[in-house]
Amino acid sequence: MTYQFEEYPTRAALIEKLSQALIADLRSALSSQSTISFAVPGGTTPGPIFDRLCQSDLDWARVNILLSDERWVPTENPRSNTALLRNRLLVGPVEVAGYVPLYADYATPEDAMEPLSHQLNACLPLSVLLLGMGADMHTASLFPGGDQLSFALGDSAPPLVAMRAPDAPEPRVTLSASVLNAARYKHLVIFGAEKRHALEQAQSLPAQEAPIMAVLAGTTVHWAD
Ligand code: 6PG
């Protein structure tokens, strides 16, 4: 599996260098397209990266921002990735960016698939992708044991897939592996020894058990302890 591994002496150094790399990729994409798309993870890792990105000078009005996956909870819920994005990335100069939602106020993700997919399809393929990973080797909401994992990893998956998994406290929606893989620039950010070890373990496992393996080719992995 060919991926690049970048190790940083501190988390602060990673945040700075990764933010610079993302801005460079966004600029490069903007130089050849009138509008581009930028997908980012939720969870606890990306907050400080968002804080840094939203201080960056870029033609944000030409960038459509979206999540790699969302937890099916109202946006007031502390677990909402949409809330994280609204509070930490879509602020300051980034307020003018386009926003492509992966959540709508319907009881289940299945109810919202059609309206959400419509807007999502219009911004594909992804230009720049940042992913996170769990210590269980999931990425986006491609979880080991997920009820739709095989479907979401397969070539016939639609861009957006609903997912329920034993280790996910709520239903999810996730971009499918083929959408993630079609991104022009792909980055993965992980912190800590446990996740580094998990990524090493993943190398000998099929994507069904280690979903990160489905999206790792061509990705730059950014790691700090
Ligand atoms: C989510 C994510 C998910 C995340 C990993 C890592 O909503 O949970 O998008 O894929 O990137 O679970 O999460 P942490 O950064 O919190 O460790």
Predicted confidence (pLDDT) per residue in 11-66, tens digit: 999 999 999 999 999 999 999 999 999 999 999 999 999 999 999 999 999 999 99
Q: Which two tokens stand for residue 67?
A: 């999540």
Neighbours of 12 (CB within 10 A): 12
pLDDT at 36: 98
Measured from CB, residues less than 6 Å from any atom of ligand 1 are: 41-45, 68-69, 71, 81, 132-134, 138-140
Distance 134 CA to ligand 1 centre (A): 6
User: Looking only at Cα atoms, what is the longest distance across the chain?
Assistant: 45
26 vs 67: CA distance, rounded Å: 16
pLDDT at 1: 67
185 vs 142: CA distance, rounded Å: 19
129 vs 131: CA distance, rounded Å: 6
pLDDT at 92: 97
Neighbours of 223 (CB within 10 A): 19
CA atoms within 13 A on the CB side of 60: 17
pLDDT at 98: 98
Q: Collect the ranges in the chain with pLDDT lower than 70.
A: 1
pLDDT at 169: 95
